[in-house]
Structure 1
């Protein structure tokens, strides 16, 4: 297939799993659109509606501007690669991507450049959703629809569609998994290795985790440390947890990158009396779960495939179409991805989606 004229990056996981996960199949869309009536006129309208969806066949040329993050973390790097490799799969998509930045002023300037280039659609993962809201508003008011990726802008007027992960659900599913594993353990103790407390996503993950544990009266969270999504901070904060608690039954770590450091601290301390649940879904974590030779027994997904799906949505917007699997003529205003729990039982299904 033709490569986008201005893009970099390498191909990642298979496209079929991404599209089916988010949108279903074109046949399902046709069924939704036409299966509820036998009226001929309605069927004809349904057939027209079902056909007016974005699919893999080349259509109207669309130039997508992609303003992603600085790739200083495994998950963020995967976001950039997923978006770029997805665009390469479409003959009718040209991707114009920025270098990526965690600096607000620099990212605003990059988005201004994309607006001035008059791209058809913008995909933006803001370094700071609140601070970048004005950039989204400017694009929308310039007539360029915005797909807001993950970190949400403060105003719904700043984007046409938001797609991202479920931070609360991530904590909830981690807590329920741990609760079920410990439901028969008397006076069970758990600890939490969180992300940066200045980020709303960290607070949402902790809230979901705490809410899940309320369903298990025998399980009590006895300690919490906030790390920085880095290997070094994970090791330092995990060491503090291990020193503070001589025994506990489970650990939830918000991020698989900082989990590398956490596992180092655990190994150095010679501790293995507890189970560990990770977060985000790195390939390393999944391989460890598959081998079943460490305390790490599960990880809760925060899938970077959302960037690939954002390209799908942007292409559909640029072509004025809906998406396969939905009866509506327009793409949704908001899509929240599910935070699946990956264990030894299902890890082979999810391993191709793991990020490095």
Structure 2
């Protein structure tokens, strides 16, 4: 769950496609006669319902992933003739985000989609909206209390770490590497998302009998990635593998690797940026794979906000209510499957 900085997306392609599928299979079909707990697949929720206004707030776009979050949300809302989309100015200032969302609460919007700068610090705001009768779709960086949101949707940070660790473990085992030195360049260490990614990575490596070696945290920026990678490479004269949590950050990481003239190890990225995928396809750097954390979640958040505000559910589920939690899967992109994912990549 992208708690601090995230990345951008190619004009919402994945988001719109992903949620087109979601909206095409939403319906409140009644249980089958005889009491069977079944629901018919239906597409009626893609049809116009009662008009609703969806408020939206996210951090300022300091790099590609966040830019894609905002673009995907707006593009998705534009698919619905029954939705008025009201976005407040993005900001990295928590007090400003609180004040901006307060204006949406005062306007009594039908639902709110909020990607908070900091989930903990905006929990009270989510609770305020909920107490005012405005359902909140908490996007990515989770609030401290489930009382502050109707539904949370985000990526699988632990799963990202597992995917990265599994790929590295498989590659090193296949090469017969004993006692490998495996580095890690994390994001911001005090964020729960970074902690979850690192735990998944360590857990996956341990299943191969491996452990994390030199580890440093950056800040999800290319500049921070370059600085931290330079330090890590200087301190580690030998590496067999390296996981970098974030592909935007990875621009700087790759620059530092190239400047150091290093190439003896394989690198795995994180998030699924288009530039990372192009490098994987070209196969001319140490970057051989990346694990996804898709900004399509913003499109899905808007689709879910619409359903909740209109008192509709997801028709391919038996339950008549939108779930309270949805976690996206993390895929591993390599040279073998990069052509499938490349059209969906976001630009760093």
How far apart in 2 are the matches of 1:26 and 1:154?
A: 31
* 3-state secondary structure, aligned to 2:252: helix
Output one character per residue of 1:83-131: Cα deviation in whole Å (capped at 9) or x when no partner: 1111111111110001112211111111110011111000001111111
| Structure 2 partner of 1:209 | 201
- How big is the shift at 1:14? 5.1
How far apart in 2 are the matches of 1:181 and 1:10?
A: 30
Structure 2 residues not aligned, in runs of 5+: 1-8
* 3-state secondary structure, aligned to 1:172: helix
| Structure 2 partner of 1:189 | 181
Please tell me whether the aligned partners of residues 183 and 243 of structure 2 are also in contact (alpha carbons under 8 angstroms): yes
- How big is the shift at 1:33? 7.2
Query: Does 145-154 or 315-324 show the bigger shift?
Result: 315-324
TM-aligned CA distance change 1:317 to 1:138, over 3 Å: same
State how many pairs are aligned.
Answer: 337
Please tell me whether the aligned partners of residues 253 and 259 of structure 1 are also in contact (alpha carbons under 8 angstroms): yes
- How big is the shift at 1:324? 3.9
TM-aligned CA distance change 1:50 to 1:198, over 3 Å: same
* 3-state secondary structure, aligned to 1:122: strand
TM-aligned CA distance change 1:176 to 1:132, over 3 Å: same
Please tell me whether the aligned partners of residues 275 and 297 of structure 1 are also in contact (alpha carbons under 8 angstroms): yes
| Structure 2 partner of 1:67 | 57
1:222 aligns with 2:213: yes
- How big is the shift at 1:56? 2.1
TM-aligned CA distance change 1:200 to 1:26, over 3 Å: closer
Please tell me whether the aligned partners of residues 281 and 338 of structure 2 are also in contact (alpha carbons under 8 angstroms): yes
Please tell me whether the aligned partners of residues 12 and 296 of structure 2 are also in contact (alpha carbons under 8 angstroms): no
How far apart in 1 are the matches of 2:148 and 2:142?
A: 9
| Structure 1 partner of 2:25 | 26
| Structure 1 partner of 2:264 | 273
TM-aligned CA distance change 1:162 to 1:318, over 3 Å: same
Larger RCO (CA under 8 A, 6+ residues apart): 2
TM-aligned CA distance change 1:301 to 1:120, over 3 Å: same
How far apart in 2 are the matches of 1:250 and 1:143?
A: 50
**What pairs up with 1:1-356 in 2 under 5 angstroms?**
11-13=11-13, 17-19=17-19, 23=22, 26=25, 39=33, 42=35, 55-183=45-173, 184-217=176-209, 219-356=210-347
- How big is the shift at 1:329? 0.7
Please tell me whether the aligned partners of residues 256 and 278 of structure 1 are also in contact (alpha carbons under 8 angstroms): yes
TM-score by length of 2: 0.91
| Structure 2 partner of 1:4 | none
TM-aligned CA distance change 1:241 to 1:10, over 3 Å: closer
* 3-state secondary structure, aligned to 2:97: helix
Structure 1 residues not aligned, in runs of 5+: 1-8
Output one character per residue of 1:39-82: Cα deviation in whole Å (capped at 9) or x when no partner: 4x658x966x755x763222211110001111112111111111
How far apart in 2 are the matches of 1:209 and 1:203?
A: 10
- How big is the shift at 1:220? 3.5
